Amino acid sequence: TIKVKPLQLLQDVSTRWDSVYFMINRLHELQPAVDHFLALPNHGDLAKFRITPQEWKVMEDFEMILSVPHRVQQIMSEKGMPILSGAIPAFEMFMTKWEQLSDKHPHLKPFIQPGLDWAYEYYKHMDRTTVYIVAMCE
């Protein structure tokens, strides 16, 4: 018998940027139940949807990658009213954590690097603005 909390699988929500993180996280939490359900003999027509150990590993990798921006967003939300002077260090933390993750897990670099490239470009433009200077003085 599989013992898991009674939870529903989650769907993507286009207006919530971290909904993919939540979907993968929930699926990972329900992995024993999902594997058991899809392996039952009376669900043979669903066998083609079984998730392989390799696919579970890939989802764990993406969960790890997406946990970084999710955590940064949580830190910013804890303040009730995020302020610009907190956003810049949070953005820097996001980039640093992804750099560290990419170094620690080189197989994730092809998935992290496009996001980092975007972040570096955005940061470069931000660094040249008056708002950046004012924010860092707060």
**Is the whole-model pTM more than 0.85?**
no
Q: Which helix (H) or strand (E) holds 110?
A: helix 109-127
Rg (CA), the chain: 19
What pLDDT digit, counting tens, does each position of 44-77 carry? 899 889 999 999 999 999 999 999 999 988 888 8
Helix 130-137 vs helix 109-127: angle between axes, to the nearest 10 degrees?
A: 90
What is the per-residue DSSP string for 56-89? HHHHHHHHHHHHHHHHHHHHHHHTSS--HHHHHH
The pLDDT of residue 138: 58
